[in-house]
Amino acid sequence: MKIDNNIVKQLGFFMTESDSNSFSELIKKHLNDILFIDTERSSEKTVKLVPSLSYIKVAGVILNTSIFSLEEYVRLVDAQETAPYSFPMIGKGIIQYLPSLPATYDSNCLKNGRLGASYLTEDIKTADFFRKVLKLIGEGSKKVYLVSRNREILSDIPEKHFVALHYASKEYDGSNEKYLTQSKSRYLVAK
Protein backbone atom coordinates (compact mmCIF):
# COMPACT_ATOMS: atom_id res chain seq x y z
CA MET A 1 0.00 0.00 0.00
CA LYS A 2 1.29 3.46 -0.85
CA ILE A 3 0.37 6.50 1.23
CA ASP A 4 1.76 9.72 -0.26
CA ASN A 5 5.52 9.12 -0.46
CA ASN A 6 5.44 6.18 1.95
CA ILE A 7 5.17 2.42 1.33
CA VAL A 8 3.40 0.29 3.97
CA LYS A 9 3.62 -3.51 3.74
CA GLN A 10 2.74 -6.35 6.06
CA LEU A 11 2.40 -10.11 6.27
CA GLY A 12 0.44 -12.03 8.88
CA PHE A 13 1.97 -15.25 10.15
CA PHE A 14 1.45 -18.05 12.64
CA MET A 15 4.60 -19.09 14.54
CA THR A 16 5.28 -21.15 17.62
CA GLU A 17 8.35 -20.47 19.77
CA SER A 18 10.21 -23.20 17.84
CA ASP A 19 9.24 -21.53 14.56
CA SER A 20 10.47 -18.17 15.89
CA ASN A 21 13.83 -19.69 16.77
CA SER A 22 14.16 -21.36 13.36
CA PHE A 23 13.12 -18.18 11.55
CA SER A 24 15.64 -16.13 13.56
CA GLU A 25 18.43 -18.56 12.64
CA LEU A 26 17.39 -18.43 8.98
CA ILE A 27 17.48 -14.63 8.94
CA LYS A 28 20.93 -14.51 10.57
CA LYS A 29 22.22 -17.20 8.20
CA HIS A 30 21.12 -15.39 5.03
CA LEU A 31 21.35 -11.71 5.98
CA ASN A 32 24.25 -9.76 7.46
CA ASP A 33 24.17 -7.05 10.12
CA ILE A 34 20.88 -8.14 11.72
CA LEU A 35 19.81 -7.39 15.30
CA PHE A 36 16.61 -8.38 17.10
CA ILE A 37 15.26 -5.78 19.53
CA ASP A 38 12.48 -6.15 22.11
CA THR A 39 10.43 -2.95 21.79
CA GLU A 40 8.02 -3.39 24.69
CA ARG A 41 7.55 -0.02 26.41
CA SER A 42 9.86 0.45 29.35
CA SER A 43 10.71 2.77 32.21
CA GLU A 44 14.34 2.57 31.02
CA LYS A 45 15.85 3.88 27.80
CA THR A 46 18.07 0.83 27.35
CA VAL A 47 17.63 -0.86 23.97
CA LYS A 48 16.98 -4.55 24.70
CA LEU A 49 18.85 -6.73 22.19
CA VAL A 50 17.69 -10.36 22.17
CA PRO A 51 19.33 -13.38 20.49
CA SER A 52 16.11 -14.62 18.86
CA LEU A 53 12.62 -13.42 17.98
CA SER A 54 11.30 -16.05 20.40
CA TYR A 55 12.31 -13.75 23.28
CA ILE A 56 9.87 -11.09 22.09
CA LYS A 57 6.51 -11.40 23.86
CA VAL A 58 4.80 -8.08 22.97
CA ALA A 59 6.54 -6.37 20.06
CA GLY A 60 9.96 -6.12 18.50
CA VAL A 61 11.97 -5.20 15.46
CA ILE A 62 14.39 -6.78 13.07
CA LEU A 63 17.03 -4.10 12.53
CA ASN A 64 19.39 -4.14 9.57
CA THR A 65 22.35 -2.14 10.87
CA SER A 66 23.89 -1.76 7.42
CA ILE A 67 20.86 0.42 6.57
CA PHE A 68 20.18 2.07 9.94
CA SER A 69 22.84 1.71 12.63
CA LEU A 70 22.22 0.72 16.22
CA GLU A 71 23.66 4.10 17.22
CA GLU A 72 21.04 5.90 15.08
CA TYR A 73 18.33 3.73 16.62
CA VAL A 74 19.56 4.50 20.16
CA ARG A 75 19.51 8.25 19.38
CA LEU A 76 15.79 7.98 18.53
CA VAL A 77 15.14 6.39 21.93
CA ASP A 78 17.40 8.86 23.77
CA ALA A 79 15.51 11.82 22.26
CA GLN A 80 12.48 10.95 24.42
CA GLU A 81 12.25 12.89 27.66
CA THR A 82 9.75 11.01 29.82
CA ALA A 83 9.00 7.39 30.67
CA PRO A 84 7.56 5.04 29.67
CA TYR A 85 9.85 5.01 26.66
CA SER A 86 8.72 3.61 23.35
CA PHE A 87 11.08 2.11 20.83
CA PRO A 88 10.82 2.80 17.08
CA MET A 89 9.14 -0.03 15.17
CA ILE A 90 9.01 1.35 11.63
CA GLY A 91 11.34 3.27 9.37
CA LYS A 92 14.59 2.95 7.50
CA GLY A 93 16.17 -0.51 7.96
CA ILE A 94 13.46 -1.61 10.43
CA ILE A 95 10.90 -4.42 10.20
CA GLN A 96 8.20 -4.55 12.87
CA TYR A 97 7.66 -7.96 14.48
CA LEU A 98 4.50 -8.71 16.44
CA PRO A 99 4.62 -12.32 17.71
CA SER A 100 1.96 -14.99 17.38
CA LEU A 101 0.48 -15.63 20.80
CA PRO A 102 -2.19 -17.85 22.33
CA ALA A 103 -5.56 -16.23 21.61
CA THR A 104 -7.00 -14.46 24.67
CA TYR A 105 -10.48 -15.68 23.70
CA ASP A 106 -9.43 -19.33 23.23
CA SER A 107 -6.19 -20.57 24.78
CA ASN A 108 -6.21 -23.66 22.52
CA CYS A 109 -5.75 -21.41 19.50
CA LEU A 110 -2.76 -19.49 18.14
CA LYS A 111 -3.47 -15.89 17.11
CA ASN A 112 -1.57 -14.48 14.18
CA GLY A 113 1.47 -12.26 14.45
CA ARG A 114 2.70 -9.77 11.88
CA LEU A 115 5.74 -8.51 10.03
CA GLY A 116 5.38 -4.91 8.90
CA ALA A 117 7.44 -2.22 7.25
CA SER A 118 6.89 1.43 6.46
CA TYR A 119 9.47 3.30 4.42
CA LEU A 120 9.85 6.07 1.87
CA THR A 121 9.38 5.14 -1.80
CA GLU A 122 13.00 6.03 -2.57
CA ASP A 123 14.34 3.78 0.24
CA ILE A 124 15.37 0.90 -2.02
CA LYS A 125 17.55 -0.73 0.67
CA THR A 126 14.69 -1.14 3.16
CA ALA A 127 12.37 -2.35 0.37
CA ASP A 128 14.95 -4.98 -0.60
CA PHE A 129 15.51 -5.95 3.06
CA PHE A 130 11.77 -6.49 3.61
CA ARG A 131 11.48 -8.47 0.36
CA LYS A 132 14.34 -10.76 1.44
CA VAL A 133 12.79 -11.39 4.88
CA LEU A 134 9.43 -12.20 3.24
CA LYS A 135 11.17 -14.63 0.91
CA LEU A 136 12.79 -16.34 3.91
CA ILE A 137 9.51 -16.67 5.81
CA GLY A 138 7.89 -18.06 2.68
CA GLU A 139 10.46 -20.84 2.25
CA GLY A 140 9.09 -23.17 4.90
CA SER A 141 5.58 -21.85 5.32
CA LYS A 142 2.17 -23.07 4.25
CA LYS A 143 -0.91 -21.21 3.10
CA VAL A 144 -3.84 -20.99 5.50
CA TYR A 145 -7.51 -21.67 4.80
CA LEU A 146 -10.69 -20.61 6.55
CA VAL A 147 -12.43 -23.52 8.31
CA SER A 148 -15.41 -24.15 10.54
CA ARG A 149 -14.83 -25.37 14.09
CA ASN A 150 -15.46 -28.93 12.88
CA ARG A 151 -12.52 -28.58 10.42
CA GLU A 152 -14.68 -28.27 7.33
CA ILE A 153 -12.83 -26.12 4.79
CA LEU A 154 -15.02 -23.12 4.02
CA SER A 155 -12.89 -21.75 1.20
CA ASP A 156 -10.56 -23.32 -1.36
CA ILE A 157 -8.86 -19.95 -1.71
CA PRO A 158 -6.05 -19.34 0.79
CA GLU A 159 -6.18 -16.29 3.03
CA LYS A 160 -4.24 -13.43 1.46
CA HIS A 161 -1.16 -12.16 3.25
CA PHE A 162 -1.09 -14.97 5.84
CA VAL A 163 1.22 -17.97 6.22
CA ALA A 164 1.83 -20.62 8.86
CA LEU A 165 5.28 -21.91 9.68
CA HIS A 166 6.16 -25.56 10.21
CA TYR A 167 5.43 -26.18 13.89
CA ALA A 168 2.40 -23.88 14.00
CA SER A 169 0.82 -25.66 11.04
CA LYS A 170 1.41 -29.07 12.65
CA GLU A 171 0.32 -28.20 16.20
CA TYR A 172 -2.70 -26.05 15.32
CA ASP A 173 -4.25 -28.26 12.65
CA GLY A 174 -7.79 -28.28 14.04
CA SER A 175 -7.44 -31.53 15.94
CA ASN A 176 -8.23 -31.35 19.66
CA GLU A 177 -9.87 -27.95 19.03
CA LYS A 178 -6.45 -26.37 18.32
CA TYR A 179 -6.69 -23.86 15.47
CA LEU A 180 -4.90 -20.92 13.98
CA THR A 181 -7.07 -17.83 14.42
CA GLN A 182 -7.34 -14.22 13.31
CA SER A 183 -10.35 -13.36 15.48
CA LYS A 184 -13.17 -14.97 17.47
CA SER A 185 -14.99 -15.79 14.24
CA ARG A 186 -12.08 -16.71 11.92
CA TYR A 187 -10.47 -20.11 12.40
CA LEU A 188 -7.88 -21.47 10.02
CA VAL A 189 -5.72 -24.47 9.22
CA ALA A 190 -2.62 -24.70 7.06
CA LYS A 191 -2.12 -26.98 4.11
Closest CA to 61 of 9, 31, 97: 97
What whole-number distance in Å separates Cα of residue 137 and Cα of residue 22? Answer: 10
pTM: 0.92
Q: Which of 66-75, 115-124, 138-147, 148-157 has the lowest mean pLDDT?
A: 148-157
Q: What is the pLDDT of residues 164-178, one digit of tens each?
A: 999 999 999 988 989
Tell me the CA distances in angstroms from 68 to 50, 81, 121, 128, one per residue in order.
18, 22, 16, 14
What whole-number distance in Å separates Cα of residue 189 and Cα of residue 174? Answer: 6
pLDDT at 122: 95
What whole-number distance in Å separates Cα of residue 183 and Cα of residue 188? Answer: 10
Q: Over 80: is that where the pLDDT of 85 sits?
A: no
Task: Say which DSSP state 156 is in.
Answer: S
Closest CA to 160 of 6, 8, 13, 5: 13
pLDDT at 153: 76
What are the helix (H) ranges across the chain? 17-30, 70-78, 124-139, 166-171
Q: What is the pLDDT of residues 22-70, one digit of tens each?
A: 999 999 999 999 999 999 988 888 899 999 999 999 999 999 999 999 9
Total domains, the chain: 1
Q: Over 90: is that where the pLDDT of 71 sits?
A: yes
CB 129 within 8 A of CB 94: no
Q: Which residue has the higher pLDDT, 80 or 2?
A: 80
Question: Where on the phi/psi map is residue 64: left (φ > 0), alpha (ψ -120 to 50), or beta?
Answer: beta
| Structural domain range at position 106 | 2-190
